Every structure is written in structure tokens, then in C-alpha cells.
Amino acid sequence: MPAPAAGTGSSASAVLRRQRLRESAARTYARSFPIVPVRASGMTVEGADGRRYLDCLSGAGTLALGHNHPVVLAAIRRTLDSGAPLHLLDLATAEKDDFTTALFESLPPAFADGARVHFCGPAGTDAVEAALKLMQTATGRSGALAFTGAYHGMTAGSLALTGNVAVKEPLPGGGEVVRLPYPYGYRCPFGVGGEAGAELSATYVERLLDDPAGGVVPPAAMVLEAVQGEGGVVPAPDDWLRAMRRITAERRIPLIVDEVQTGVGRTGAMWAVEHSGIVPDAMVLSKAIGGSLPLAVVVYREEYDGWRPGAHTGTFRGNTLAMAAGAATLRHVAANGLAERAAVVGDRMVERLRALAGELPAIGDVRGRGLMIGVELVDPAAEPDACGARPAAPELAVRVREACLARGLIVELGGRHDAVLRLLPPLTITDEQAAAVLDRLADAIAAAAA
């Protein structure tokens, strides 16, 4: 289809219609939110039709400071005005040097001291691939341990498709993934819930790894999220995370923590690993570290740096603007205590949502950490299981998302059954905005469940 002539057919409905006709069937968020944003500031997005929305999606958790934060815009403008090259592969620049300094200053010292950073292609999934390859190279093993509900990106097959033998040679080939039970209290894989479920998970993982007939070939790494995002906003208990660290360390299995979504203050600490105090062998970082522009890195303990030059290369690894915006964001979050503020506001929102669950039986569970909050919707008429959880209500969740949008609130779904409303507001959310989000959400759930 030819492109429309300039100035014609630019109404919101025409733009949406052309998108439906020209973009792939894999369109995702565009299906949930049929709006055409034209302006955005902080937590507010304005559509082409003049309607304004409070954005609780924040670019899937990317916008720590909300849309177009003045600090981010100033960093971008400064860089543009300086005449710095905007694209530079992985050459050294003052902006990259400064971003690296800001990043290392933000990381827990026990991890950052003696760590290395690798700049990846600008998506979280590429940094996950890099971390896994790094540990495959370091251990000479191929497989990995991962968890039920985990989400780490979309490109698991990309290396297998690559023909360049030089970069594949040190790797022992595509390995298998052993799936382990994540501690999800509400829908406990062991049917017991709570702390007991998390303890069973840790015991199971440890005994499975030690069972000579357990079927687990020694893996290259364990990969986990400290709070599962796409899996339905499931925070792992700190004791369980410490158990995973101990179990992997005792068996010399590198631990990769994927902080793509949890990083930069989101969970009420600069990095989610700080809650439990664990020191991983590698951390995968993306989303908010680019200050709303694409950027992804893997940071890892120096002793794993067994890569050959070019072992994980890629064209778009030197986005100067993203590095400037990212450094400004990291420093602004730290200097203004925004992680601590996320903890306070998040706790308050969870408390109010739990009170609301008493009035609205369609709310089965409210959970989260900081400003990563999940509201799991259930069928209140169905029988609860042994843990007290009723069946998930994905159709109700879709109706609630639509009712939210009609009330000027952008909320996306996630979780095992796509029945978890996920709140990821910017860390800069005001008390008034938090109250408005909860009012609109409560109204939408009540209306959709009626």
C-alpha cells in the first residue's frame, strides 16, 4: 500500500486503520490500546483525539522518570548540541565513559568492584543472550536453569541461525533449559503457598541438582528475575533468593539475575538484588538504563571474562543519546531518592488495593514490590483451590483493561493466564496521581465485574 500523501488521512482513526493494514499480526500493545499518542509528559499521555491518559505501562517499565522528563531532555539536547557522533559501534566516547561511571556507581559495590560491562544490541533480549553465552564460554557447558513464569526476551534462536563459525566455535552448541519452580505463593507449584512453598522450591532445586539420576546435566548458568514481571508480578522472597545464591555458589553454577524490568529504582531499591543482598555473577540490564532510549548491557564478575574479541558483537551498541539520557536518569534517581519514594508509594498503593479486594471479590491477589504492582483477577463464583486461589479470569481482565482506558488509565495485563493487571507507573508519580490511578482502577474493576 502506498504511503499516504502528506497532510491527508492523518486523523487518529486513519492512522490506526493503516496500522492494522500494514503492520504484522504480531502487533501487541497496539491491539490493547487503540490510541495515537501525540504528546506525553511525566505520567500523562495525550492522544490525537485530545484525550489524556495516566500511563501505568511506562513503556513496559522503561520510563523510570516518566515521559520526556526535563533532566532526560536536557541531557539529550546537550549531547545533540555538542556535535558528538550519534552512532559509534563500540568505540570509546566521553558519553559512554560517563554512562559507565554512573552505572558502576549505582550498582551494589560488592558486585561493581572488579566487574566488567559489555554493551549489547539495544534490547534486553540481546543482553540475556550475551550473559548466557558468556557463561557458556566460561564453564564450557551448554544448558541453563530457568524458572516457571520467567520472561527473558524473544531471541533464543538467534545464535543458532548465525553462520559465523568463529563466534560459535567456543560455544558448545544450543543447550537445553531445565525448568524449575518459581516461588509463586498465590498459585503455588507445590499446592501449599506462602513461605512453605518457597522453602519447598529451594529444597527441590537443591536436591534435583544433587540427584545423579535427576536428569540435569551441569548447566552453564541459572537465570532468574528477583521479581517476575511478565510472569504476573511475582516477587521472590529474599530468603529464597539467598538460597538460590548459596545453592549455585556451592555448585559453581554462575547466577545471572535479569534486572531488565526490576532495575533503576522500580522495586523500591536501585537494583532488586539489594533487597536480599545477594551478589550475582552477572546482571542483565536494559529498559530504564537508557532513560527512554534503547540501551542494554550485561555486567559481570571479571573472572568470567573469557570472551574473544567480537564474541558478542552487533551494530547498534553505541547509541550516544541513550548513554547520555541513561546516565542522567541513573543520577537523578539516586540523587532524588526515587527508589525509596517508589517503596513508600508502592506500599501505600498495595495497601489500598488490598482493602479494595475486601470489597471486590474479583480481586484474588494483590502483590508487588515498590512500583511494580500486580492485581490478579479471578472468578469469584468458582471454588478456591487448596491455597485459596480461585481460577484466573482473563476475559474479565480484558474488560477491566478496556474500562480503564475508557476512564483515562493505561494498564496492561500479564501473568500466566493474562489475568494480572500490571501497574508500572513512573517513579515520579505524585500522591494525587496515585490516588487517581486507584480510583479509576477501582471504578473500572467494579464496572467490568458487574
Residues in the site for ligand PLP, rule: CB under 6 A? 60, 123-125, 128, 151-153, 225, 229-230, 258, 260-261, 286
Give whichever of 260 and 339 is closer to ligand PLP, judged by the CB atom.
Answer: 260
In this structure, what is the dihedral angle of CA atoms 23, 26, 32, 36, given to the nearest 10 degrees?
-20
- For 100, other C-beta atoms within 10 Å of its C-beta total 17
Nearest residue (beta carbon) to ligand PLP: 124
The answer to whether residues 87 and 319 touch, using CB atoms and an 8 Å cutoff, is: yes
Q: Least distance (Å) from ligand PLP to the CB of residue 352? A: 26
User: Among residues 17, 76, 66, which one has the least CA distance to residue 39?
Assistant: 66
Nearer CB in complex with ligand PLP: 284/349 = 284
What whole-number distance in Å separates Cα of residue 334 and Cα of residue 337? Answer: 5
* Least Cβ distance, residue 125 to ligand PLP (angstroms): 3
Distance in Å, CB of 439 to ligand PLP, minimum: 28
Q: Which of residues 18 and 416 has its CB atom nearest to ligand PLP in the complex?
A: 416
CB of 264 to ligand PLP, least distance (A): 13
> In terms of CB distance, is 286 or 320 closer to ligand PLP?
286
| Residue in 266, 270, 271, 325 with CA at minimum distance from that of residue 294 | 325
Sign of the torsion angle spanned by Cα atoms 333, 335, 338, 340: positive
Among 226, 118, 137, residue whose Cα is nearest residue 175: 137
Decide whether 124 or 425 has the Cβ nearer to ligand PLP.
Answer: 124
- If the CB atoms of residues 257 and 448 are measured against ligand PLP, the closer one turns out to be 257
**Are 345 and 368 in contact, with CB atoms under 8 Å apart?**
no
For residue 274, the minimal CB distance to ligand PLP (Å) is: 17
Query: Which is closer to ligand PLP, CB of 58 or CB of 137?
Result: 58
Q: What is the DSSP string of 25-48?
A: TT--HHHH----EEEEEBTEEEET
Shortest distance (Å) from residue 192 CB to ligand PLP: 26
- Say if CB 202 and CB 240 are below 8 A apart: yes
Rounded CA-CA distance 9/112 in Å is 52
Cβ proximity to ligand PLP, 147 vs 151, nearer residue: 151
| Minimum CB–partner distance for residue 262 and ligand PLP (Å) | 7
The smaller minimum CB distance to ligand PLP, of residues 102 and 128, is found at 128
> Which is nearer to ligand PLP, 128 or 409 (by Cβ)?
128
Helix, strand, coil share of the chain (percent; to 5): 40, 15, 40
3-state secondary structure of 428: coil
Q: In angstroms, what is the minimal distance from the CB of 259 to ligand PLP? A: 8
Joined together, the cell numbers standing for residue 323 give 548513554
Least distance to ligand PLP, CB of residue 47, Å: 24
Instruction: Give the Å distances, CA to CA, from 416 to 184, 229, 391.
Output: 11, 11, 11
Q: Which residues contact 448 (CB under 8 A, 6 or more apart)?
A: 396, 399, 400, 402, 403
Q: Which of 370, 367, 379, 318 is nearest to 342 (CA)?
A: 370
Q: How far is CA 103 from the centre of its chain?
A: 18
| Nearest distance in Å: CB 62, ligand PLP | 8
